[in-house]
Chains A and B, each alone.
Chain A
Amino acid sequence: MATDIYVWIAALLTLSIYSFLYKDNPLYKAAEHLFVGASVGYSIVITYYQAVLPRLINPIFQEGDWVMIFPTLIGFLMVSRFFPKYDWLSRITIAFMLGISTGINLPLIIQASLLKQLQGTMLPMTDINSILIVIGVLCVMIYFFFSSEHKGIVNTTSKIGILFIMVGFGASFGYTVMARISLLIGRLEFLFGDWIHLIKY
């Protein structure tokens, strides 16, 4: 058995979370709340020391970069949400954030996830993979085309599309099983290795 108090705390919290597999209970709830609280506390400390201090406080007070005050003020407007009379001020911050992120992301997403993917579909059908990609994309897109009734050739094509979708779901499910088992392996390794030393390396 482990002698480290932190290993014991982590092990007992893990067991508390796993107790949910039997049914919901106070131990599970306590561990869940503790997790949320610890995560928020950790986030605040890391964000302060890694982002706020070197990129805001130090530039303003040590390097005299007073321009940083303006984005800081815009950020502080979010606090107005606590005062119903002035909560409209927070919309300025939200609008600023939305505008910036949309402006940055929209062209990039179109280029990286739409145009490049379209380009990747327009393949010379010289090997079996290219043929499958082209046929798969066409059939699945026809399945999701709702402006025409699915009859005749459209119906046949959309049914082939369903087959491709099912293969996709199957691959995703297989990968999901693999991922979940890996997580269980990690926890059991901790409980039976680090905690009760049944697993030896």
Chain B
Amino acid sequence: MEPIIEFKDYSFRYRSQTEPTVQDINLRIMPGEKVLIAGPSGSGKSTLAHTINALIPCSFPGETAGTLRVCGKDPQQEGVFGMSKLVGTVLQDTDGQFIGLTVAEDLAFALENDAVPQEQLKKRVDEIAGIVNLKDLLHHAPGELSGGQKQRVSMGGVLADDVKILLFDEPLANLDPATGKKTIALIDRILKEEDLTVVIIEHRLEDVLYRDVDRIVVIGEGRIVCDLPPDELLSTDILKEQGIREPLYVSALGYAGVTLRPEDHPQHIESMELAPYAESVRKWFTAAPAKAVPVSDAPALEVRDLNFSYTPGEPVLRGVSFRLNRGEMVALVGRNGAGKSTLASLICGFVKPDSGEILLGGKDISPLSIKERGEHVGLVMQSPNQMISKPMISEEVGLGLTVRGVPAAEVEERVGRALKICGLYPFRNWPVSALSFGQKKRVTIASILVMDPEILILDEPTAGQDYRHYTEIMEFLRRINRETGITILMITHDMHLMLEYTDRALVVADGTLLADKTPSAVLTDEALTEAADLKKTSLYDLAVRCGIEPPSEFVDRFIAYEREHMRRAEQEGGAQ
């Protein structure tokens, strides 16, 4: 059989760069295969994907060397339009690629551009809607759809073209965990039914492996590091070396001293061979120290029986009560549209509650304006671009003080302090545009910290970040939490984040607070994760299959162990 995608000694260099972004690529993908391309940000994995749909070099010019054949054709010669008949690309941003005004129109978009007569168009749209389960939503506008539904529209939109290859560029980045799981299942089903080849670019390995993949290609610094079936890859140390997150159960097995073998089939925790290892895992569990839970009972923020609706009669939040203690790190989780952002808006005063109280340090804050609340509760938005408005770093960080009429000398002093906390002091006179995404994120955090708020609310602090940047941002937040005692509330989809970095999780579903307990208790509770569209951690399955009770304790010890591990590694790194 001929490969459907074949790279031979392929290299590509962007026009603006001196070094090739990908080089010496030799890769063959056979028809019907499902291949995962993994690698940290900047490894060249997106570049590689864009050579397949011809965006590279047609839209992003540069120099290529070697050969690439997709369905026997050269993408560079076919161009983006030519390749769009063969390769369907599903982008990460589900809003950005929703082009039509309704689901039906978006599904029809590619066919319209091909001038397919209207009658055929409608027939084909119906067929596609059937494949991606959108029949009942054909006339809905994008604003009425959930993230998962929008992604199904994106998938349908490229399937309409009868493509041979489906290319997914980080399909899980914007989805809540349960929706991500459904997406992976849908990709798997379409692959089997529609006779396609699937290439997925993603660094969230564990989530993709929810369904079998044939091979995982790991990219590091522009080269292929390895190209192995998942069972073999998981039995090596390559992922760790490349800064890609291993599945949690694989890490746990590693801590227990287990050396995995491909014949154990570690691809799925549910079905892998565990019998020879259960004993070592149990031993590790008994030996591992329990997680020390920091206790503080000075309330920083209290929410009492909060009710809210945008339109009367359609409550968005119902009877929500909770409290944040001083110095805690708390996760606010739940599916898209469950009411998480609304809750943050209520705390910041962007909208007014129908009834209920919000207390800050014991005082009701309902008479405070948005600006006044801003001095106590700082909000950091998801993308730094949503906040940054000044060209220079120190100006941007000082903006909140300048507009409050704080004297220039004090502004300078406080900006300096905030920049030092955020590790940006050496860059204080740089333009913002010279910073990386993660550094910009820190600028926005510094611009909030400069006002000395008691509480920091972060909306999806790590969205779209790979493991290394994720760790960098989260370690930074943990550090300022420890050093300044600031209380941190994070709105997140990321189960790892919640497990590893927070003391408590508030679970919201359909406008009510479903649970308020430790992350390990949330993620080992099957009924709760189901109800809130979360995903139970694979550590739970591991604990259950090894006969460890209670599983949440296992999870706690795992996290504590990992923290200790990381701290030691840091110290050793620092000592050298």
To the question of whether A and B form a pair in one complex, the answer is: no
